[in-house]
Amino acid sequence: MSLYNNNKSTLPSLKFSFFGQTDTGKVRSRNEDSFTCVPDQNLWVVADGMGGHESGDFASRTITTQSEKFIQQPELETSLLLLEENLLHSNEIIREKAETLGKNLTIGSTVTCLYTWKNLAFLLWAGDSRTYRYRNQTLERLTDDHSYVEELVRMGKITAAEAESHPAANVVLNAIGIDSNIIIDMDYAEIEDNDLFILCSDGLYKDVTEDKISQIIDNNEASLEELNQNLISAALDAGGSDNCTVILVKASIENTDG
């Protein structure tokens, strides 16, 4: 498979700078988002918990805590299997917690993960937390929401613009913890010099349009920390209707000369 057999001599050496931040927003009383950056294992994760009464906090923290235990392996296939197993194990832990709190209680968390290997970016996700890539002044979503309105868009019943304001916009069809047979989507993309990956909970894109996100990135010439703050500030200025979490990961070709 060509995916796993890239010629090492032709691959650029990439390095990654990053910054993550979360904000409770202006409406929610507590922050049920969680994120983790594990650069020594080439892994970044955003989780958005749901369930209330601290259950959402538990769900999202379970995912990020389990992710921090990940140790990449020499073989790509093994690393990807371990990442998936970590999410499946989180699913078990969250479901066991729900059982102790009551049979009718459902708690869970959406998740989006970025794992880099050589010149490839692997995305693993469940729910409607997203990963974008900004390249050559163009913002592209790399993940598909597991949501009711996304299904309506796919069926052609509503437009993407209509989905943003649809009454069922918050209905998630898939998340870690809500079912014993969890579905984890996976995809990959090639990494180029100056690619910027944006991992976020729905608190960003619900209040800030993708056009606006792209404009903020395009107008930013400062640090990733300042750009991250500008994105979260835009969500707060637009109402801060939900917890908002953003991780920025920027790739650059490492200069190996002398």
Report, as an integer, the average pLDDT of 223-228: 96
What phi and psi, each to the nearest 5 degrees, are found at residue 37? Answer: -120, 120
Least-confidence region, from 10-24, 149-163, 190-204: 149-163
- Per residue in 171-203, pLDDT (tens digit) is 678 899 999 889 899 999 999 999 999 999 999
In this predicted structure, the answer to whether residue 226 has a pLDDT above a threshold of 80 is yes
Beta-carbon count within 10 A of 191 CB: 23
Q: Residue 246 is inside which H or E element, if any?
A: strand 244-253
Does 103 have pLDDT greater than 90? no
Break the chain into its structural domains and give their ranges: 15-143+173-252
Q: List, for residues 50-91, the tens digit of each pLDDT value.
A: 976 568 999 999 999 999 999 999 999 999 999 999 999 999
Q: How far is 47 from 59, CA to CA, in rounded Å?
A: 8
| 104 close to 34: Cβ distance less than 8 angstroms | no
Q: Is the pLDDT of residue 2 over 50?
A: no
Mean pLDDT of 108-131: 97
CA distances from 191 to 76, 188, 242 (A): 16, 9, 31
* Residue with more model confidence, 148 or 157: 157
Mean pLDDT in residue range 18-22: 98
Whether the predicted pLDDT of 41 surpasses 50: yes
Which class is 15-143+173-252 in CATH?
A: alpha beta
Rounded to an integer, the average pLDDT of 93-118 is: 90
Token pair of 25 as six digits = 């927003």
DSSP output for 56-69: HHHHHHHHHHHHTT
SS3 212: helix
The one-letter amino acid code at 113 reads C
* pLDDT at 5 (0 to 100): 47
Q: 7-11, 23-27, 43-47, 71-75: which range is least confident on average?
A: 7-11
Residue 238 — left, alpha, or beta (φ > 0 → left; ψ -120 to 50 → alpha)? alpha
Average pLDDT of the chain to the nearest whole number: 89
29-48 mean pLDDT: 97
Mean pLDDT of 109-126: 97
Judge whether 126 and 110 are in contact, CB under 8 Å.
Answer: yes
Q: pLDDT by residue (tens digit) across 160-172?
A: 666 666 555 666 7
